[in-house]
Homo-oligomer: A and B are copies of this chain.
Amino acid sequence: MYVEIVTIDLGARSYPIEIGGGGLSTLGERAGIGLAQALIVSNTTVGPLYAPKLRAALTQRHSHVRILELPDGEEYKTWSTLQLIFDELLKHGCDRKTVLYALGGGVIGDMTGFAAACYMRGVPFVQVPTTLLAQVDSSVGGKTAINHPLGKNMIGAFYQPQLVVCDLDTLNTLPARELAAGLAEVIKYGPIADMELFAWLEAHMDALVARERGALAHVVKRSCEIKAAVVGADEREAGLRAILNFGHTFGHAIEAGMGYGVWLHGEGVAAGMVMAAHLSQRLGLVDGSFVERLTRLIERAGLPTRGPVLDAQDNAGRYLELMRVDKKAEGGEIRFVLIDGPGKAVMRSAPDALVREVIDQCCAS
The chain A residues found within 8 Å of chain B, CB to CB, are: 36, 79, 83, 86-87, 90-91, 93, 95-97, 117-122, 143-145, 148, 150-151, 154-158, 236-237, 324-325, 327, 329-332
A83 touches which of B79, B95, B236 (Cβ 8 Å): B79
Given the known interface contacts A79-B83, A90-B148, A329-B95, the answer about A154 and B236 at a Cβ–Cβ threshold of 8 Å is: no
Residue of B nearest to A118 (CB): B155
Contact between A90 and B157 (Cβ–Cβ < 8 Å)? no
Q: A86–B154 contact, CB under 8 A?
A: yes
Docked pose: A93 CA to B325 CA in angstroms: 5
> Which residue of B91, B95, B119, B121 is within 8 Å of A331 (Cβ)?
B95
CB contacts (< 8 Å) of A332 on chain B: these are 93, 95
Besides A36-B331, A122-B158, 10 new A-B residue pairs in contact (Cβ under 8 A), listed by A number: A86-B148, A93-B324, A93-B332, A96-B330, A118-B118, A118-B157, A119-B155, A120-B327, A121-B158, A122-B157
Q: Of B79, B119, B150, B236, which one neighbours A90 at CB under 8 angstroms?
A: B150
CB distance from A41 to the nearest CB of B (A): 16
Least CB distance, A94 to chain B, in whole angstroms: 9
The contact of A327 among B79, B95, B158, by CB within 8 Å, is B95
> Is the CB–CB distance between A95 and B330 below 8 Å?
yes
A327 to chain B: closest residue by CB? B120
| Residues on the B chain within 8 Å of A151, using CB | 90
Complex-state Cα separation, A120 to B143, whole angstroms: 10
Known contacts A36-B331, A86-B148, A148-B86; is-contact A121 B93 (Cβ 8 Å): no
A96 partner, pick from B36, B83, B95, B327, beta carbons under 8 A: B327
A86 touches B155 (CB 8 A): yes
Residue of B nearest to A36 (CB): B331
Q: Which of A118, A154, A157, A332 has the most CB of B within 10 A?
A: A118
Chain B residues closer than 8 Å to A324, beta-carbon distance: 93
* Chain B residues, CB < 8 A from A145: 121
CB contacts (< 8 Å) of A91 on chain B: these are 150
Within 8 Å CB of A157, what residues of B?
117-118, 121-122, 157
Q: Which of B36, B83, B96, B154 contacts A120 (CB 8 A)?
A: B154
Chain B residues closer than 8 Å to A83, beta-carbon distance: 79
B contact residues around A330 at 8 Å (CB): 36, 95-97
CA distance A86 to B331 in the complex (A): 17
